Structures are given as structure tokens and as C-alpha cells.
Amino acid sequence: MMKMIQSVQLKHLGSLRLAALAGLLLAAPSVAVAGAFPPSEQILPATTRAWGSIAEPRQMRQRFHTSAMGRLLHEPLLSTFLDSLRGPHRSSERGQHTRFEITLEELEKMPGGEMALAVVEQPDGTLANLLLIDTTGHETESQAILQDVYRRLPARGATPLKAPASVTAFEVPPEPKSGLGAIAAQKPGRLAFGEGPSAVVIGDRSEAVAALLAALAKPAAEPLASLPAFAKVTSRCGEGVAPGTLTARWFVDPLAYAMADQKTHLQQPRKKKGPDYVSLLSRNGFDAIKGIGGVMFYGEGNIDMRSNTLVVAAPGRGQAGQMPHERLEKAAKMLHFPNTDSIDPAPWVPADSSSWIALEWSIPNAFAAVAPIVDDIVGEQGVFDDVIASLKEDPDGPQIDVERDLIRHLGERVVVTGDFITPFTSDCERMLIAIETSDPATVAATIAKSMTSEGNTQKIEGNGHTIWESVKPEPGSAGALAVQGRGAGGDDSAGRRLAARGDALEQDAPWPNASVAVAQGHLFISSHRALLERVLGLAPGQEIAAEPDYLAAVNTLKGLLPGGVALRTFGRTDRMLQPSYEMLRSGRAPDSKSLVGWVVSRYLARSREKAAKEAGGKEGDAAAAAKNRWDDIAGESLPEFDLIRRYFGVAGMSMQSTPDGWYIVGASLWDGAEDKPAPATP
């Protein structure tokens, strides 16, 4: 059981491109007047895989400046730190450049209406990135800016390319970068600029820019707006949004985007065989997810920011009106999140918790659906069933029937909560997962058999509870030798491989000292035994459910999304951020053992490995390319956290299962709107 817990790995399934485009969209202001072309969703083709739009960027940015995050980013105490994040090559002479070679300062002067970003699949199956700007009222400034771009690009080595009429294209050499930007191989890129009547289109494919320019005069016969999933997102996420509200809208077709992204970056055969997770998800039923999208906007009063999101699940072979889990197929059946009218914190959730999440999830249903996808990952049918059978039949194993003795006794409520302790160290953040159980005695007996058979665990009795804690064996100890010898019988090479794999897993585990207990009708799994002991011994009156900030957040969420829900979350953003902030401020961020720190460290490690390979195996070049990003961040310049704590509030989210999919409403509350006037808009 403990090894199963420790082997959970977080997979990077998305692309940083979409996040970068979204950041550009929200960063750029404009003036909203009459539009020069129809809304972008009526112009872009149905092959648009990702899209974001702001109809009135300048007003939206002004609202952003009054928000907690907007004020925080203008806090003088953070100026040195924020400058270090921008990097040494974002000089004032060149300005802070976007990926389209236009500075944000220049981009501010161009729009007079909608600004939209899109990632469009081309006829060859690859992706093109496009930026569409309505320049109504700013045509002269926009043309002057583009002419300046056309002059400075060749000055830094860009080569003009042949392009369609009304399009100017270049091959652009990579800009020198340091830190994280230098980890990935820098390759020449392509940029194309198109000018139409009161419109500018910029992209990385000249033919895509030309096609979008043509669509401005003659919109696509099958535009993005014609997609059923897009229409569902637009309709549902617009509910409860007052007319005239300034919103940022977005949409992505996740699997279609991922498949095209793979093809876009497929330059050579993969040297290492491994699962193709995009295809794997598609053939296991997750292609039923046809779109994810929504709106984001700034609220009124103490509602700092709101968001409405819809995950669209296709009807499949089911009937109209059925819930998603009733019509999903194969492994996707695990997406069974039943609504409930009662999803409040249990009395054992401490009052000072940093965060709390409760999800209604049918674990037995998920277990029944997981076999096909596990077999697909391994590449051999029946592997999952063989593993489950071995847990029951192997004389050296725990000899438990996982489905009969454990899974069928687990309920539908999964809770995650976390906190931190001081002093702020690499191991100060703590997390606990709890799953309801209908038969605690049977589950406790199953856990005991599993833990006893594993080794490297210790049993602690106290306050009427039994806790099993994972203990990392000392080098050369009997426990360590047992791990090294496991699986070696008759095949020394297999034994060595298994031992190396086990050692790597233990070193890489996010919770090396996880603790497990069955108590109060729940199966508890904790990153730290101290947190588990605290939860099990919590006295009445010390729970989070009666805290004023929790009640304010949950009452707001209930008003925004009435009725039963399958998910509710609550977080105190200051307590969620402070441990990482303090580690960064003291220069110890790379040593963090928090889940976030673990993910970042793994990402940097993988990036360094990639850099070494791309450097041709030359140690010096690889070391230079793999310079740790932390070295470039001026964490020591950060002020004491209490000096900026006023910019943080509480946040929450609710999810409701609907016939169209899963509808999610989020809100952040902040009481600091009257602390000081908003910074002036640049």
C-alpha cells in the first residue's frame, strides 16, 4: 500500500505555449470602440484548437489594476524581484518583448477593439499561433509600429521570407537567454505580419496569417462558433454574468490540441519507447471531452475575481439528459462525480488549515474502469488483473483481495487538506488525504496486512488509533538489503534493475515518510505523521467549518452555484503561498519538499537532462545550458511576508455535474479594495 501511494507521479500533459499566449492576452491593453470585424469566434475556423479573447482590453486592464493581484504586481517592495523574473534580456531599450517581437508598450498602442489569440490546426495537422488585433482608431500608430518591427528584425539577424500578398514574413534567430530560457534548445523561428483594413494579424505561419486576413472580409463557413462544444460553453458560462460585464473568454479542445501539438513538434523518431499518452487517452474514452472553456471577470464588493468554466462531455451513445458517467465509455467511466447537497468539512479538519478540498467521486466505479488504461500504458493486456491477483495469491505478498477487502468499502467522499509548521524549512508544508469508508474494521485489517508485508514501516499506537508510517531504511540496514534483494531470484540483472528502480522511487517520492490510519470512518493518508496525529486528536471547537472566512467563501459559492455539487474547495491564499515565499526569500527554494517544490524540481531535472542531450553530451556546454533558474531570481530582495499579506484573501470553487459535463464556478474574496487607490494605468 505505501509503495502504491509513493509511486503516484504527476504527468505533464499540457503545453506551455497555451499558457504563454494567455499571459500575453491578459497583459495587453487597448481602447474599445466599434469593431472593424465580427467577433473572432465567427472568423476563426472550426479547426481552432485553443482561443482566448478580450473585447475591451483597456477597461479590463483597469479592472485588473484594482484587483489584489494587480495591486501586488505594482507593489514597490517587489520591484527588484519582479525585474529578476523578467530576465536580463528584457532591457528598457528593447522593452519587454512578446513572442511576436512586439513590446508590450507597443502592443498597448495598437488595439481599438477586440484582441484575440488562437492556435489553429492547419491542413497538414500542425498548429499555427495567431494574434488578431482590431486597430480601429489606431491605424496610424499600428502601421508605424509594424514598420519599426520590419526595420529592427533584420538588424538582429532576421531573414525576409517569401510570403503571400499583404503579408511580411521573417525567419528570426533565437534571442540569447539565460536561466530557464536557456535550458531548452533555441532554434530559429518564423514570424508573419499581415495588415488589413483596421486590423493586424501576427502569427508564426505566413499562410495562416493570410487565411485569417481573408476571413476578415469573408468569415469562415464553419467557424469556431459553430462547434457544439463552443456553443455549450458560451451559453452556460454566460449565465449569471450581468450585461456589459468586462470578461476574458477562452476555449480549448484538449485532445485535438494535444494531438496537433505532438505533430507540430515531431522532428525525429523518439529514441526512447514509452506510452503515447495523447493517443492512449483518446482510445480509452477520454476523447468524449470535446472542449473546456469559460469566462473570467472581476467582481464587485469583496468578490475580487470570478470565473465560470464548463468541461463539455459529448453525448456518446447515451440519451439526452443523462449525466456524463451514464454515457462515457471505457476508462473514462471513472469520471463519475455525483452531486450532493452536503459537502461541508468534517469536524477533524483543523481551523487553521491552509486549504480544504472535498470531492464526491465513485472510487469503486473508477477501480472497475482503470484496468484497460493501465494495460494500455504497460502495453500488455491483463497486466492490471495480474497485479491485483498477485496481491491476493503471492505467498510473499500481502495476500489481500483489493476489490473485496478494500475498494468496495470505500465511500464517495475524498477530502484533501493541508497546512504548514514553522520554522519555514524544506519540509514545513504538510498534506492529508482522507477517503470515507463504509466498513472501517475491514479496511483497517486490510491496511494492516499490507503494511506488515511491506517492511520499512513502523506501527505506532496512540490515543486509541493505529498509525502506519513509512520509514526510509538506513544504507546497509536489513531493510535496505531486503529492498535490494527483492526480485533477484534466478535473474541477477532483473534484480539489479528492480533494486535501482526502487531506490530511484524512494529518492523521488514526494512523501517519503507517508503515514496511514483508519479512524473516524475514514482512511487517512498523510505526508507527515504529526499532521495525522493532530487531525485524529482535534478537540471540538477547533474545526474549520465554523471559521468566519470559510463561511464567507462557502456562502458566496452557494449563491453563485445553487443546488447540489460534486466538488467544493476553500483556500487561504496567504497561508498557501507563504512557505514557498519564505523558502525563496531565504535562497532555499530548490530544497523545498512541498508538492509544488517537488514538481518544480522534477521539471528542472528533466530540463537539465534534455539540455545535456541537446548539447551533444559535452559537459561544459550542458552545464552552461542547464544553469538553474533559481540563480537568476532575486529571492533575497523579497520583503517580509507580513508587509504584503494584505494583498491576499480567500478563494473557493464549486463543481456541479450536469448533462453537458461539469460546470465549475470559482471566486476569490478580498477585503483590501479600499486600502489605497489603484495604480495609474500606463
Q: What DSSP element (H or E) covers 578?
A: helix 573-585
Phi and psi at 640, nearest 5°, equal -60, 140
What are the CA-CA distances from residue 664 to residues 214, 429, 430, 669 (Å)? Answer: 37, 27, 27, 17
Domain boundary among 202, 226, 250: 226
Please list, in sequence order, all residues whose beta carbon lies within 8 angstroms of the beta carbon of residue 386, skipping any fewer than 6 positions away.
none
Q: How far apart are CA 502 and CA 468, in angstroms?
A: 20
Closest CA to 54 of 115, 129, 123: 115
Residues 298 and 176 in one domain: no
Residues 588 and 665 in one domain: yes
Residues 77 and 202 in one domain: yes
Q: Which residue has the cell 480567500?
A: 650
The neighbour count for residue 156, using CB atoms within 10 Å, is: 11
Can you list the alpha helix ranges (DSSP code H) found in 353-421? 363-378, 383-393
**What SS3 class is residue 416?**
strand
Point out which residues pair with 51 in neighbouring strands: 118, 251
The grid coordinates listed for 555 are 456562502
SS3 annotation, 120-180 = EECCCCCEEEEEEEECCCCHHHHHHHHHHHHHHHHHCCCEEECCCCCEEEEEECCCCCCCH
Residue 2 in any domain: the answer is no
Residues 404 and 344 in one domain: yes
Closest CA to 399 of 470, 439, 481, 454: 454
Point out which residues pair with 223 in neighbouring strands: 45
Residues in the chain predicted with pLDDT less than 50, given as ranges, are 1-33, 89-95, 178-185, 268-269, 271, 476-507, 615, 618-627, 676-682
Residue 674 in any domain: the answer is no
Please list, in sequence order, all residues whose beta carbon lies within 8 angstroms of the beta carbon of residue 609, skipping any fewer than 6 positions away.
none
Residue 90 in any domain: the answer is yes
Residues 206 and 270 in one domain: no
Residue 438 domain boundaries? 261-471+513-669
Q: Given this model, what pLDDT does residue 217 score?
A: 87
Q: Given this model, what pLDDT does residue 595 score?
A: 61
Residues 337 and 441 in one domain: yes
Q: How far apart are CA 129 and CA 171, in angstroms?
A: 15
The grid coordinates listed for 419 are 497546512
Longest dimension (CA), the chain: 80
Residues 172 and 284 in one domain: no
The grid coordinates listed for 356 are 480544504
Residues 397 and 451 in one domain: yes
SS3 content of the chain, % helix, strand, coil (to 5): 40, 20, 35
Phi and psi at 300, nearest 5°, equal -120, 155
Q: Tell the burial category of 478 from Cβ atoms under 10 Å away from its Cβ (0-12, 13-18, 19+).
A: exposed
The tally of domains found in the chain comes to: 2
Domain boundary among 200, 226, 252: 226
Q: How far apart are CA 565 and CA 459, in angstroms?
A: 38
Contact 652, 672 (CB under 8 A): no
Contact 488, 397 (CB under 8 A): no
Please list, in sequence order, all residues whose beta carbon lies within 8 angstroms of the beta carbon of residue 98, skipping any fewer than 6 positions away.
24, 28, 104, 107
Residues 199 and 295 in one domain: no
Residues 546 and 655 in one domain: yes
Residue 5 in any domain: the answer is no
Q: Given this model, what pLDDT does residue 442 score?
A: 96
The neighbour count for residue 659, using CB atoms within 10 Å, is: 15
Contact 46, 290 (CB under 8 A): no
Contact 528, 516 (CB under 8 A): no
Q: Given this model, what pLDDT does residue 485 score?
A: 38
Contact 370, 334 (CB under 8 A): yes
Q: How far apart are CA 291 and CA 189, in angstroms?
A: 29
Closest CA to 465 of 532, 390, 541: 532
Closest CA to 156 of 169, 175, 182: 175
Residue 250 in any domain: the answer is no
- Give exposure, 315-344, as e/b (b: 16+ Cβ within 10 Å): bbebeeeebbbebbebbbbbbbbebeeebe
The neighbour count for residue 119, using CB atoms within 10 Å, is: 26
Residue 185 gets which letter from DSSP?
P
Residue 484 in any domain: the answer is no
Point out which residues pair with 663 in neighbouring strands: 310, 656
Q: Given this model, what pLDDT does residue 599 score?
A: 64
Q: How far apart are CA 678 and CA 65, in angstroms?
A: 6
Residue 486 in any domain: the answer is no
The grid coordinates listed for 362 are 465513485
Q: How far apart are CA 667 and CA 665, in angstroms?
A: 7
**What SS3 class is residue 243?**
coil
Residue 544 in any domain: the answer is yes
Can you list the alpha helix ranges (DSSP code H) found in 425-526? 440-454, 478-485, 492-508
Closest CA to 450 of 415, 494, 498, 400: 400
Residues 209 and 267 in one domain: no
Can you list the alpha helix ranges (DSSP code H) found in 511-572? 529-536, 548-560
Phi and psi at 461, nearest 5°, equal -110, 135
Domain boundary among 226, 246, 276: 226
Q: Which residue has the cell 471577470?
A: 297
Point out which residues pair with 575 in neighbouring strands: none
> What is the separation, in whole angstroms, between the first and last Cα of the chain?
56
**β-strands 199-203, 127-134: how paired?**
antiparallel
Q: Tell the burial category of 215 from Cβ atoms under 10 Å away from its Cβ (0-12, 13-18, 19+).
A: buried
Closest CA to 54 of 140, 163, 161, 131: 131
Phi and psi at 41, nearest 5°, equal -70, -15
Residues 366 and 295 in one domain: yes
Q: How far apart are CA 297 and CA 308, in angstroms?
A: 9
